[in-house]
């Protein structure tokens, strides 16, 4: 007979949910995980991982085309094999999905392939007719792509799933939304040969990033041939013989743009429907569940983590919340998550990564508290390893409290930005000051030396600028 009573039940098997299940098992709890679709969630199956596989294929293609710069002959005629790229991407996702299933078995987590609804205190009703019970229930149901009424999804207007599995490379592509997802798809499709237009309603692409970095990203995209339109909104769309005609409004100027395909990447909404929340004290604001610092909702015994619990919508944020939530449930020391210490990465070409405050936010923070900031910048053009790699375009920017030396923010634009940002992430978590970072020894020759130089630059001590 299948067990139905547990110490902890997790609803949703993404990077928040499956990590919560593992942590619960590590702490000696009997744990059930309910997942209606694929273990690993959107991130592993249709988000973070498969997009990075496609972007890596694009990077290999780009390297082959530029091989002559590095003294490698006869590689310049490389061309994209889209079917093989997509197949590899799906294979990578499948492998990791199997890995999550193995982890569930290894940790003794009982997995139910079903949807679930809260059905009274400590109870969950599954759509297969079963009822589970536990004193603690974590909702980790994630989020989905926001749909725009002006751009109904279909054969020619895609969300991320269709964009990850194209049958052919569109000759022309409009990407609506220039956040991380939109920027990554724009980079991939431009690399494989599509004529790409990237639009956003805000004043700059990657609007959550530091303005200076966003402007550098825009210039890099435009240099690659990506057309960028900002402060631009979609009014309507209509099919044509070969694609989609889209009516645009750019600060009151009306225009039309025709593209073979459109990708909608205009944000996400939380998966809060059909969870039985209306019969509880759980609060929902703007499609996201409201929680306290330890992921507790207003309903006793019900918790929420990851994308469904709000920004920042990052897999590593979900996993970190999973651990602190379960630790708190178990009575272990649990430290509330500080959103300013969570690195964010965009895997476009070039990549953009950051942690902490933008310069503008830091200046405002300092003004409100009667202080000031110091800003350091160091270009990869002054870094030996970057020059040797042929990747000497980019910038490292650091923002410090002028009085205390606290690292308030760090921002990087470079093809390896996502790997480099962790250095500043660790420094932020350890509350390192400028003095600590200046005294650290960075290996030579490495790209990470730019992190050191940017800190030095903030205090007038840069050695290679």
CA-to-CA separations, 48 to 52, 194, 235, 258, 326, in angstroms, rounded: 6, 22, 30, 29, 24
| DSSP tag of 357 | -
383 three-class SS: coil
Torsion over CA: 221, 224, 226, 229 (sign): positive
- Is 71 annotated among the ligand-binding residues? no
- Is 142 annotated among the ligand-binding residues? no
Residue 189: its H or E element: helix 180-191
Task: Determine whether 444 is an active site residue.
Answer: yes
Torsion over CA: 256, 258, 259, 262 (sign): positive
CA-to-CA separations, 115 to 39, 44, 73, 178, 236, in angstroms, rounded: 13, 19, 55, 33, 35
- Is 52 annotated among the ligand-binding residues? yes
Phi-psi domain of 254 (left: phi exceeds 0; alpha: psi -120 through 50; beta: other): beta
- Is 66 annotated among the ligand-binding residues? no
342 three-class SS: coil
Spatial separation of the C-alpha atoms in residues 5 and 453, rounded to whole Å: 56
- Is 178 annotated among the ligand-binding residues? yes
Spatial separation of the C-alpha atoms in residues 414 and 426, rounded to whole Å: 19
First to last CA, the chain: 70
- Is 225 annotated among the ligand-binding residues? no
Are the C-beta atoms of 171 and 195 separated by less than 8 Å?
yes
| DSSP tag of 126 | E
Buried b (16+ CB within 10 A) or exposed e, 16-45: bbbbbbbbbbebebbbbbbbbebbbbbbbb
- Is 49 annotated among the ligand-binding residues? no
The length of the chain, given as a count of residues: 465
Enumerate the β-bridge partners of residue 411. 354, 397
Are the C-beta atoms of 281 and 266 separated by less than 8 Å?
no
**DSSP of 434-459, one letter per residue?**
HHHHHHS---SS-TTHHHHHHHHHHT
User: Residue 319: which of 10, 83, 99, 9 has the closest Cα?
Assistant: 10
In sequence order, the 6+-apart residues with CB closer than 8 A to the CB of 84 are none
The residue annotated as part of the active site, out of 56, 444, 452, 464, is 444
Are the C-beta atoms of 103 and 19 separated by less than 8 Å?
no
Q: Is cis: bond before 350, omega within 30 of 0?
A: yes
- Give the residue ranges of the annotated binding site for FAD: 52, 307
- Give the residue ranges of the annotated binding site: 52, 177-184, 267, 307
Active-site positions read 444
- Give the residue ranges of the annotated binding site for NAD(+): 177-184, 267
């Amino acid at each position: 007979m299948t067990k139905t009573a547990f110490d902890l039940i997790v609803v949703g098997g993404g990077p928040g949910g499956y990590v919560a299940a593992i942590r619960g098992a590590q702490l000696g709890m009997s744990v059930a995980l309910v997942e209606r679709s694929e273990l690993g969630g959107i991130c592993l199956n249709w988000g973070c991982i498969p997009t990075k596989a496609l972007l890596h294929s694009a990077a290999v293609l780009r390297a082959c085309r530029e091989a002559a710069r590095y003294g490698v002959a006869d590689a310049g005629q490389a061309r994209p094999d889209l079917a093989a790229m997509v197949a590899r991407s799906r294979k990578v996702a499948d492998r990791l999905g199997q890995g999550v299933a193995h982890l569930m078995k290894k940790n003794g987590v009982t997995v139910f392939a079903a949807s679930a609804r809260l059905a009274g205190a400590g109870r969950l009703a599954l759509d297969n007719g079963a009822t589970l019970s536990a004193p603690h229930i974590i909702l980790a149901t994630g989020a989905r792509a926001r749909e725009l009424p002006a751009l109904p999804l279909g054969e020619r207007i895609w969300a991320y799933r269709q964009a990850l599995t194209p049958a052919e490379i569109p000759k022309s592509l409009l990407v609506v939304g220039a956040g991380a997802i939109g920027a990554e798809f724009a980079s991939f499709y431009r690399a494989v040969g599509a004529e790409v237009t990237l639009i956003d309603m805000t004043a700059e692409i990657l609007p959550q990033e530091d303005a200076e970095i966003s402007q550098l990203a825009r210039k890099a995209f435009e240099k690659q041939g990506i057309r960028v339109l900002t402060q631009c909104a979609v009014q309507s769309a209509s099919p044509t013989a070969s694609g989609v005609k889209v009516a645009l409004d750019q600060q009151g100027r009306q225009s039309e743009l025709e593209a073979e395909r459109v990708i909608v990447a205009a944000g996400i909404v939380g998966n809060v429907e059909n969870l039985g929340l209306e019969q509880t004290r759980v609060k929902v604001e703007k499609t996201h569940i409201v929680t306290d610092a330890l992921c507790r909702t207003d309903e006793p015994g019900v918790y929420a983590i990851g994308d469904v619990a709000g920004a920042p919508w990052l897999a590593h944020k979900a996993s970190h919340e999973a651990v602190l939530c379960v630790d708190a449930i178990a009575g272990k020391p649990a430290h509330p998550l500080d959103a300013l210490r969570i690195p964010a990465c965009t895997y476009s070409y070039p990549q953009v990564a950051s942690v902490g405050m933008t310069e503008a936010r830091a200046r405002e923070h300092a003004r409100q508290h009667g202080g000031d900031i110091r800003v350091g910048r160091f270009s990869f053009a002054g870094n030996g390893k970057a020059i040797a790699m042929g990747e000497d375009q980019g910038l490292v920017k650091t923002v410090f409290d002028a009085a205390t030396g606290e690292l308030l923010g760090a921002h990087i634009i470079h093809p390896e930005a996502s790997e480099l940002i962790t250095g500043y992430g660790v420094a932020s978590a350890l509350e390192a000051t400028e003095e600590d970072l200046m005294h650290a020894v960075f290996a030579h020759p490495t790209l990470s030396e730019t992190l050191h130089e940017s800190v030095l630059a903030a205090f007038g001590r840069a050695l290679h600028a």
